[in-house]
Amino acid sequence: MSAVTARIDAPDLRLPQPYLLFLGDVTEPGYAKTAMGLRDWAPERCVGEFASSPDALTTGLPRLTPTEAYLKGARALVIGVANPGGVIKPSWMASLLAALDAGLDLISGMHGKLEDSRELRAAAERLGRRLIDIRRPPENIPVATGRKRSGRRLLTVGTDCALGKKYTALALARAFAARGLDADFRASGQTGIMIAGGGMPMDAVVSDFEAGAAELLSPDAAPDHWDVIEGQGSLFHPAYAAVSLGLLHGSQPDVVVLCHEPGRTRLLGYPDYPVPTLAAAIETNLALGRLTNTAIRCAGVSFNTGGLDPAAAEAAMAEASAALGLPVADPIRGGARFEALVEACLA
């Protein structure tokens, strides 16, 4: 059996499960969002974690060697890192080879491809293992039409990267379904695709086809159907604003929910760039979104308050809500504030 590379859009793709989550040498939680997302939204598929450095952060799952994970049922190692540029680091190679030797396939959502490593390809071919690269858009993506599509759409947008757009979209889609609504979570990044089992890796699409890819991600639907679309990047990001804008135009959202981490004053990894104010972020997203949906509105704000105690989180949400005149909630904390945000989305 030779090494196999696969695209998430392939109709016969079945990701080998359960997973061992690989953390590499990451110490910044924002760069381990793939591992954290799978832990939080697909815990039944996660056996444990594995790192190439003792200083790497932890997901809280058992830290296992690849052999130990295989004996506990794991069938794939997932690179749980989302570092700048999506690079597979040379310092990880020994760990990835150890996973192949232990009987695990490799799954990656990085820009750098597993198949581009001669060493990994040779080992996979020798051992009969699969190299699965998730970040591969489908072929023949059309240029966007700008045509108004049927159905209703919500897009999560952000003041920065890695602060809760995926979590917010997942929580809102679940809340909509709990109310008996016909709703789908539409994944636009590698972690969301692994959770949902399909989607569109927007940041791997050629720029001219970004909006067209977003149209494919959320096609015509029944008038009362909701697509809850995972946002990417931020319109205020010097590196990733392009994917944010293409997704905004192509998804044609009726509703946006702004995602923000209170206390973050500088863009993650870009200390020379300040995080915009909530009001400015809302105004900019609405102004640019009106190109393809003149009726776009902001239903409220999602706060990532994981770094705050309950009292401080409540105070931050109450202050922002009063200033904006909109619901502000942390979907993970839930409660009345989140219920108010859900109702505002559906209003």
C-alpha span between 342 and 51 (Å, rounded) = 38
> In whole angstroms, what separates CA 148 from the centre of its chain?
25
Pairing outcome for strands 152-158 and 131-133: unpaired
Q: pTM of the predicted model, to two decimals?
A: 0.88
CATH H superfamily, domain 19-133: NAD(P)-binding Rossmann-like Domain (3.40.50.720)
Summarised one tens digit per residue, pLDDT across range 195-213 is 988 899 999 999 999 999 9
| Residue 259 DSSP symbol | E
pLDDT value for 7: 34
Tell whether the model's pLDDT for residue 151 goes beyond 90: yes
Q: Are 19-133 and 152-346 the same fold in CATH?
A: yes
C-alpha span between 66 and 68 (Å, rounded) = 5
Summarised one tens digit per residue, pLDDT across range 318-327 is 999 999 999 9
What is the residue-averaged pLDDT of the chain?
Answer: 94
- The yes/no answer on whether domain 152-346 falls in CATH 3.40.1190.10 is no
pLDDT value for 84: 83
- Residue 342 structure tokens: 């859900």
Instruction: Name the residue ranges covered by the structural domains of the chain.
Output: 19-133, 152-346
Task: Return the residue matching tokens 């506990």.
Answer: 72
pLDDT value for 5: 34
CA angle 114, 79, 136 (to 5 degrees): 50
Tell whether the model's pLDDT for residue 13 goes beyond 80: no
Q: Name the band, by pLDDT with cuts 50, 70 and 90, for residue 12.
A: very low
| 45 vs 3, higher pLDDT | 45
